[in-house]
A and B are shown apart, each in its own frame.
Chain A
Amino acid sequence: MKKILLIDDEKDLVETIQVLLEAKGYTVISAHDGLAGLEKAKKENPDLILLDVMMPNLNGYQVCRELKKDPNFKNTPIVMLTAKAQESDHFWGIESGADDYVTKPFDSLSLLETIKNNLK
């Protein structure tokens, strides 16, 4: 069973996505800010990370950059959840080493699709 780490400060969103993903057979673990997310990633070694951008204690880009520096995470796909649809966000996402992104508000089908593609 694939393990997904979801890092987002919006607890309701974390809960909803968790139920959705669990229904599709994924194991979901979560963290509510950047720093906690970083620690959880190192401890739990997930197969994929869903990462929000605007968060307290390290934003999404910072977390992404930190993780990609670590050889253990070189092949772990990181999908950014951006709340802004601006080009610059995608640029910064790629620049900090993210593998893919989903723009909020996303629908569950495209989220599931993106997760499936990146786990291949």
Chain B
Amino acid sequence: MSNSIFKDKYHAAFHTMPGAIVFVNPATFEIEEVNAQVTQLTGYSADELVKEGLGLIDSNSKVRQLLERTLKEKKQQILEFDLLTKKKESMPVSMRVDFIEMEHHQHLVLVLQDMTKVRKMEEMVQKTVDQKTQDLKLALETLQKSNQLKSDFVAMVSHEIRNPLTILKSTLALLESSKLAAKKREEVLHMMMRHIDQMIDISNDLLDVSKIEAGVMQYHLEKLSLYKLLCSVMHHFHSFEEQCGIKLCVECPKDYFIYADELKTKQILDNLVSNAFKATSLGGKIILSARSSDNNFMEILVSDTGCGIEKDQMQHLFKRFVRLQGAGAHTKGTGLGLSIVKSLVEAQGGKIWAESEVGKGTIFRFTLPATAVPVVVLMDEDVEFCEKVSKLLEEEGYRVKQCHSAFRGIEQCQEMKPHVVVLDLKLSDLSGEKVVDRLKEMPLMKDLPFVFLTSQKVEKSDEKTKGIPVVYKSKWEYELLSILKKQLRMQVQREIKPGGSV
């Protein structure tokens, strides 16, 4: 190969290769030659660079120092630095320097690479890592906190149970050993009864919490007269009224009804009213009232003229295991009451909140449905179809929860406790029949009615669809509503007791 052809080839390669290359004279450190990429990178022309020298792009002599080191050590050096472009912009670059000998000439070869994108990527990664680290720290803190709460809870339960047990044991010894006067004996028996009741309360709370956690709390919804319900709660506390010198009254129109579980709703009210009694002092007043709120809900209020709750305590009010500090603090109790109340209200579709002013009193408010709003869980992978069905059902007064997979659907059923489930026969993570089997295994869901959806022809075989009605997607608008009504009527009948009110 002739020398000139070789030079041409070299020249072409030098200017077209993607790396930015600078040749430097090792004796003088003058720039001998640069390729087009260097011009592009720095903004300086080849002439400018050759004429002005390295100083143009090497303001603090870092490059110069590296070149000297390359010569001294006779081996490749790498440096990352900020290059100043002609536009006076700082650009992060990585530079590799090699010492080479060609045709008895010595050269320093500098290969520059723009690191802007890499740096940006690094920064982004760093930011993501920082964020995730922060998240993890937070999660860890939350876990540690909840762990601490649980240990405190165990200590507290052990204290709350051991104390009445101690009293029972000592009182038994008292009854056994000494000749007690009849009156004293009666007093001791009363004391024992009180502490046994206290232990029953604690074990009931613990049982409720474990039922709520396991998702097996059962609700029997029926139409209840709110007036009668509030009155029965008032009567329940009648003896307290006299004992504590507190007036308890009901303000509620007689034609207000709710659609809820009677026992659970009484439990909610019992808890709130007994809290109100604890917080209110002699001569105070507790009012049970109701008002009709929007969206077919009734709002029930328990207001007292008690000591009130400190502002900073309000956010912890409904948290599990937390007992109030400061004003309104009671030494008795498991710290579970209000968290149970919250679960009971929310499981029936309501909300609960409180307002309080220290020294003036507290109002607990909660809502419960005034009419039966049937809840439908809809499982279908076709998002568009789900939207269409939801829209129609919601117009007809149903509450619909869409789920686009079987597993999500099963999860939602446990959470929402629906009145009916509408599901596709062929969900890809689990077939419709398997979903039904899975749900029927759960005690709460064993009577749940279902409706299958399908886009394919199903052989009329009860074996396959277990007697569950099938709606074809091609004509669902005509069939679904009437089948739903039929399925729901069966269930509503099962739930409402004869004569069904308080």
Contacts and interface: CB of A to CB of B under 8 A. Distances in A.
Contact of B169 (A10, A81, A108): A108
B455 interface: no
Nearest to A9: B331
B170 A20 contact: yes
B158 A13 contact: no
A16 B188 CA distance: 8
A25 interface: no
A13 B166 contact: yes
Q: Which size class do A's interface residues fall under? A: 20 to 34
Interface in A78-120: 81, 83-85, 104-109, 111
B170 A108 contact: yes
B191 interface: yes
B163 A83 contact: yes
Contacts of B166: 10, 13, 81, 83, 104-106
A58 interface: no
B155 A10 contact: no
A38 interface: no
Q: Which size class do B's interface residues fall under? A: 20 to 34
Contacts of B178: 19-20, 23
A83 B161 CA distance: 9
A13 B331 contact: no
A17 interface: yes
Given A12-B167, A16-B171, A19-B178, A56 B159 contact: no
B158 A107 contact: no
B165 interface: yes
B162 interface: yes
A12 B195 CA distance: 9
Given A13-B170, A20-B170, A108 B331 contact: no
B331 A107 contact: no
Nearest to A112: B173
A15 B195 CA distance: 14
B158 A105 contact: no
A20 B167 contact: no
A83 B158 contact: yes
Given A83-B158, A106-B169, A108-B169, A13 B174 contact: no
A12 B188 CA distance: 9
A29 interface: no
A13 B170 CA distance: 8
Given A12-B195, A16-B188, A108-B177, A84 B169 contact: no
A54 interface: yes
Contact of B162 (A17, A56, A105, A108): A105
A84 B331 contact: no
Contacts of B324: none
Contacts of A9: 331
B50 interface: no
B56 interface: no
A107 B169 contact: yes
Contacts of A85: 158
Contact of A13 (B155, B163, B177, B184): B163
Interface in A16-75: 16-17, 19-20, 23, 54, 56
A3 to B, nearest CB: 20
A93 to B, nearest CB: 15
B46 interface: no
A20 B174 contact: yes
B188 A104 contact: no
A83 B162 contact: yes
Nearest to B177: A23
Given A12-B167, A12-B195, A16-B188, A104 B174 contact: no
B393 interface: no
A84 B173 contact: no
B92 to A, nearest CB: 57
A56 B194 CA distance: 22
A20 to B, nearest CB: 6
A69 B160 CA distance: 31
A20 B170 CA distance: 8
B170 A10 contact: no
Interface string B141-169: 00000000000000100110011011111
B46 to A, nearest CB: 80
B177 to A, nearest CB: 7
Nearest to B194: A12
A19 B174 contact: yes
Contacts of A17: 170
B160 to A, nearest CB: 9
Contacts of A84: 155, 158-159, 162
A54 B159 contact: yes
Given A84-B159, A105-B165, 6 more contacts: A10-B163, A12-B167, A81-B166, A83-B159, A105-B169, A107-B173
Interface of B: 155, 158-159, 162-163, 165-171, 173-174, 177-178, 184, 188, 191, 194-195, 331
9 contacts: A10-B163, A10-B166, A13-B167, A16-B170, A20-B170, A20-B178, A84-B159, A104-B163, A108-B169
